[in-house]
Structure 1
Amino acid sequence: MKVGIFMDLLTYLGITTEAVSPEQVQLKLAVQPQVQQPYGLLHGGINAVLAETAASLGANASLKKPQVAVGVAVETHHLSAVTAGTLWTVATPIRLGHQLQVWQAKTYQTPGQWTSVSTVTLKVQTLS
């Protein structure tokens, strides 16, 4: 598995992993110019990256090798604009199935005041 490519993206964007378990994943991101659109707002794709990253880490923490979970769908709702500060993403499983997993990821700056909400569906595969 080419973890280096995945980790390089997280490093470039400044995403740090605060906690990973099959029950919950927490990520942190300081809003910097590389994650903003030209108008100074957080790029909407960053919300999706945070959501899929968190869900993927949690899904894979729930599996035993040689199984892996890979994203097949991400639906993200942008709830409020972000221009500065720190974002937190918390992902929790909705369903941990044998073939599909579904996770919800919520991103916020202040607990309870979500800046985005995402649903991530992952397919469980067996590596050969």
Structure 2
Amino acid sequence: MTEQEKAKTLDFLNNWGEGLLAKNLGILFSEITDDSLSATMPVNENVHQPFGIMHGGASCVLAETLGSCLSNVFIDTEKFYAVGTNINSNHLRSVRKGVVTGTARFIRKGKTMHVSEIEIRNEKGDLINHTTMTNNVIAK
């Protein structure tokens, strides 16, 4: 993928789906490579649970957004679309404020099924969440 293609893809992802959950949580796609996709999300009262830490569901939203978009970026979207069918998320550390960064990478990239691994890290680089996700690739 050329630098121009990367920039175009990130621009598309960051302007896709106004008013949807990922936008409402402030998820911003930041980097793409030939086999990975990264995004950031602010940790503030919008994603807190009652104890003032990031809600586990917010981690899952970031992870699923990354895993789904990773699959859809690397398929022919004229013929197919990818949808999540399974997610397994482990919350390893808590975060109260700042910005978290998630990175999704393929574990398996088949014709009809993708499995990805998503790591979410705090600003210090500590792993706060590890998620695996399965997407089915479906013909339109």
- Return 5+ residue gaps in structure 1 as ranges: none
Deviations 1:1-50 (A, max 9, x none): xx636x52122111111123551110101111110001101000011111
After the TM superposition, which segments of 4 or more aligned residues of structure 1 sit over 4 Å from their partners?
none
Amino acid at match of 1:34: N
- Return 5+ residue gaps in structure 2 as ranges: 1-15
Q: Distance in 1 between matches of 2:90 and 2:32?
A: 23
Q: Does 1:35 align with 2:40?
A: no
Q: Does 1:60 align with 2:82?
A: no
1:44 corresponds in structure 2 to 56
Higher relative contact order (CA 8 A, sep 6+): 1
Deviations 1:69-106 (A, max 9, x none): 10000000000011111100011000001111000000
Identical pairs, percent: 28
* Alignment check: 8 A CA contact 2:17 2:23 kept: no
SS at match of 2:58: helix
2:91 corresponds in structure 1 to 78
1:66 Cα deviation after fit: 1.4
SS at match of 1:51: helix
TM-score w.r.t. structure 2 length?
Answer: 0.83
RMSD value, Cα: 1.4
Number of corresponding residues: 123
* Alignment check: 8 A CA contact 2:91 2:129 kept: yes
Q: Distance in 2 between matches of 1:22 and 1:121?
A: 19
Q: How does 1:85-124 map to 2 (within 5 A)?
A: 85-109=98-122, 110-111=124-125, 113-124=126-137
* Alignment check: 8 A CA contact 1:29 1:88 kept: yes
